[in-house]
Structures are given as structure tokens and as C-alpha cells.
């Protein structure tokens, strides 16, 4: 199984992804994720027994942030702010349904 196979299908809320899996899905180095975690830009990431684990929502956030940084040359803090706004919009759309 390749690391990018996690993109196929939908993620379960109970499932957790490793740092390496999220990095591969976002096509970034694990160091990119670690820097963003250390800067407080991933509030949903957890460290359990010195192992980072991420939810499906964290994966979506990471992919959005990477795309914003790449496409618009956004600084990480701006990408995180836009990701926050997009997450809020998604929550509001869900509530409207």
C-alpha cells in the first residue's frame, strides 16, 4: 500500500493518521508539519507516546494550508487563518442542511 492510498475513500472520525501519512498526502516533508505544529497552527494534532497522530479534519486542514502556501505564497499564519475560516464555513453549511 502506498502512502497516498489514504486519499481514496472517506476517512472515519475514529481513525488516526501518522505524521508520515499526512505529510505524504500533502506532498510535504514531515518537518513542514512539525514546524506548523510547533507554531500552534494544528490545534487538532495530538502526540501520544511521542507519536503524532492526526484526524481526518487535520488532514483536510493540512492540505488546505499547503495549497494556500503554495498557490498564493501565503505565510503559514495566513494560511492557518484562511483554513480556520474555511472550516467555519463548512460547519455552517453542515448546520444549514
Q: What is the pLDDT of residue 44?
A: 81
Where in the sequence is the domain holding 75, given as residue range(s)? 3-96
Q: What is the pLDDT of residue 13?
A: 56
CA 36/CA 43 separation, integer angstroms? 10
**Number of structural domains found in the chain:** 1
| 73: alpha, beta or left? (left if phi > 0; alpha if psi -120 to 50) | left
Contact 69, 50 (CB under 8 A): no
Question: Is this prediction's pTM over 0.85?
Answer: no
C-alpha cell at 46: 495530538
Contact 36, 74 (CB under 8 A): no
Write the CATH number for 61: 1.10.1660.10
Query: Which residue reads 505565510 in cell numbers?
Result: 75
Blockwise average pLDDT, block size 10, the chain, 97 residues:
47 77 96 96 87 92 97 97 96 95
Amino acid at each position: 500500500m502506498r502512502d497516498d492510498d489514504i486519499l481514496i475513500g472517506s476517512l472515519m472520525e475514529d481513525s488516526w493518521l501518522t505524521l508520515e501519512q499526512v505529510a505524504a498526502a500533502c506532498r510535504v516533508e514531515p518537518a513542514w508539519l512539525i514546524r506548523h505544529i510547533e507554531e500552534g497552527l494544528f490545534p487538532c494534532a495530538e502526540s501520544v507516546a511521542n507519536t503524532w497522530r492526526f484526524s481526518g479534519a487535520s488532514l483536510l486542514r493540512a492540505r488546505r494550508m499547503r495549497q494556500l502556501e503554495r498557490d498564493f505564497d501565503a505565510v503559514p499564519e495566513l494560511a492557518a487563518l484562511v483554513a480556520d475560516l474555511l472550516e467555519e464555513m463548512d460547519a455552517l453549511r453542515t448546520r444549514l442542511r
